[in-house]
């Protein structure tokens, strides 16, 4: 395995994805956002920029996470803007070169761009710890506008509520700087190309399919759907890295959901109404094509992350308080394990 200019080992797939082509493809395929006037669009952008700043103090107070890092301004983007930022982040995370030759990385770049185009319609915001000196906070204005209209909720409250979630992610990484390196290390492991015989991978996949048919799978969202098949296809080191990333994602998303609701009506007056409406929307069945795409891209698994993670954080905070809960950000050993995310007391007994 080669090394890039920073000395990091290049993961196996950095030579087969042209992320610049992915960005161009995604921007071309992304459907337009909801129709609105120029004046209203400018107002949405201005209010989101303001809300991202207003969210900082409530997040700090509720989470108890403090640091002296500067607060970067949020980038308010449209769908093509999010696609470009996501492709840039993946390029940084997995290696910047698509390989040599006129066709290097082109097929995978088109495929990645197609997936980004679909995801660009669902992402409300995102904190990217891998780009920019202090990370990049993105808010996707057309998607936020579309969801607030669909839910029929107070626009100002909803925009601040979304910002609370994304600012929480920024605070998580700024308060625990080791998190970015931990993610990068596990992505590197996950994407390494090994020399395992194809027969071994096929044997695992066949075993996974048989276990599903016989009902032997554990009641774990990460063991089902495409994510479960991906786990089954991985050799043990890669599967362990994937599990660590899944558990970290579950914690980060659940903690952000906990914070955005815990701020209460003094900050977001209609928070209870927004949460109820938003959860109903999450559970609303999509059309058949959307259901297939959501499964293929792991969107439903991500929704499950929010639910499982929030239950874990809610339970731990209720039992031991915010200060003790924040021990979780100490290092990799204090993160929840696979058998603890649905059994918070196990984490409490092991760590506290």
Give the tens place of pLDDT for each residue, 160-196: 999 999 999 999 999 999 999 999 998 888 777 555 5
Confidence bin at 286 (pLDDT 50/70/90): low
Q: Which pLDDT score is estimated for 3? A: 46
Nearest-angstrom CA–CA distance, 72 and 131: 12
Nearest-angstrom CA–CA distance, 172 and 31: 32
Given a cut of 90, is residue 115 above it in pLDDT? no
Q: Structural domain of residue 124, as residue ranges?
A: 12-194+235-351
Q: Which pLDDT score is estimated for 293? A: 52
Contact indicator for 48, 159 with CB cutoff of 8 Å: yes
Q: Is residue 3 part of a domain?
A: no
Nearest-angstrom CA–CA distance, 225 and 128: 26
Q: Which pLDDT score is estimated for 314? A: 97
Taking all residues of the chain, what is their mean pLDDT, rounded to a whole number?
A: 81
Q: Which pLDDT score is estimated for 191? A: 74
Contact indicator for 347, 336 with CB cutoff of 8 Å: yes
Residue pointed to by tokens 């905070």: 317
Q: Is residue 329 part of a domain?
A: yes
Q: What's the average model confidence in pLDDT over 264-288?
A: 83
Least confident of 21-30, 62-71, 79-88: 62-71
Confidence bin at 208 (pLDDT 50/70/90): very low
Distance, first Cα to last Cα, the chain: 40
Nearest-angstrom CA–CA distance, 237 and 219: 23
Give the tens place of pLDDT for each residue, 213-242: 555 555 555 555 455 556 556 677 887 888
For residue 77, the cross-strand partners are: 140
Secondary structure (3-state) at 238: helix
Q: Pairing state of beta strands 75-77 and 136-140?
A: parallel
Q: Is residue 110 part of a domain?
A: yes
Q: Is residue 23 part of a domain?
A: yes
Helix locations, 37-140, DSSP H = 38-54, 56-63, 79-94, 106-119
Q: Model-level pTM greater than 0.85? A: no
Q: Is residue 268 part of a domain?
A: yes
Given a cut of 70, is residue 118 above it in pLDDT? yes
Contact indicator for 82, 138 with CB cutoff of 8 Å: yes
Q: Is residue 218 part of a domain?
A: no
Nearest-angstrom CA–CA distance, 302 and 50: 28
Dihedral class, residue 286 (left if φ above 0, else alpha if ψ from -120 to 50, else beta): beta
Q: Is residue 206 part of a domain?
A: no
Residue with the larger pLDDT of the pair 237 and 286: 237
Residue with the larger pLDDT of the pair 103 and 127: 127
Number of domains in the chain: 1
Given a cut of 50, is residue 268 above it in pLDDT? yes
Q: Is residue 28 part of a domain?
A: yes
Given a cut of 80, is residue 295 above it in pLDDT? no
Nearest-angstrom CA–CA distance, 6 and 261: 40
Give the tens place of pLDDT for each residue, 136-154: 999 999 999 999 999 999 9
Q: Is 153 exposed, middle or buried (0-12, 13-18, 19+ CB in 10 A)?
A: buried
Tell me the C-alpha to C-alpha distance, in Å, between residue 103 and each of 16, 19, 25, 91, 192.
10, 13, 15, 17, 22
Q: Which pLDDT score is estimated for 42? A: 96
Residue with the larger pLDDT of the pair 298 and 47: 47
Largest Cα–Cα separation, the chain? 60
CA atoms within 13 A on the CB side of 313: 29
Give the tens place of pLDDT for each residue, 34-58: 999 999 999 999 999 999 999 999 9
Q: Which pLDDT score is estimated for 70? A: 72
Q: Which pLDDT score is estimated for 152? A: 95
Contact indicator for 257, 165 with CB cutoff of 8 Å: yes
């Amino acid at each position: 395995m080669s090394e890039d200019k920073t000395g990091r080992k290049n993961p196996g797939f950095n030579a087969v994805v042209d992320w610049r082509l992915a960005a161009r493809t995604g921007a071309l395929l992304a459907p337009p956002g909801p129709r609105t006037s120029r004046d209203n669009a400018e107002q949405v952008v201005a209010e989101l920029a303001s809300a991202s700043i207003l969210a900082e103090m409530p997040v700090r107070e509720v989470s108890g996470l403090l640091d002296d890092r500067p607060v970067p301004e949020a980038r308010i983007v449209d769908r093509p803007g999010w696609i470009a930022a996501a492709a840039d982040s993946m390029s940084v995370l997995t290696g910047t070169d698509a390989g040599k030759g006129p066709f290097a990385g082109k097929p995978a770049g088109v495929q990645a761009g197609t997936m980004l185009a679909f995801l660009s319609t669902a992402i409300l915001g995102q904190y990217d710890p891998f780009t920019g000196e202090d990370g990049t906070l993105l808010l996707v204005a057309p998607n936020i506008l579309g969801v607030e209209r669909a839910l029929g909720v107070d626009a100002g409250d909803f925009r601040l509520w979304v910002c609370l979630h994304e600012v929480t992610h920024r605070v998580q990484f700024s308060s625990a700087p080791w998190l970015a390196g931990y993610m990068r290390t596990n992505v590197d492991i996950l994407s390494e190309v090994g020399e395992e015989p194809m027969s071994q991978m096929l044997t695992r996949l066949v075993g996974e399919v048989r276990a599903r048919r016989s009902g032997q799978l554990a009641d774990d969202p990460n063991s089902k759907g495409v994510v479960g098949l991906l786990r089954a296809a991985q050799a043990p080191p890669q599967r362990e890295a994937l599990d660590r990333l899944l558990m970290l994602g579950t914690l980060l998303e659940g903690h952000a959901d906990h914070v955005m609701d815990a701020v209460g009506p003094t900050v977001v007056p209609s928070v209870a109404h927004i949460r109820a409406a938003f959860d109903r929307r999450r559970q609303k069945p999509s059309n058949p094509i959307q259901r297939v795409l959501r499964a293929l891209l792991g969107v439903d698994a991500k929704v499950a992350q929010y639910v499982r993670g929030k239950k874990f954080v809610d339970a731990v905070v209720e039992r031991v308080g915010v200060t003790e809960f924040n021990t979780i950000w100490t290092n990799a050993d204090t993160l929840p394990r696979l058998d603890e995310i649905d059994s918070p007391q196990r984490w409490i007994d092991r760590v506290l």
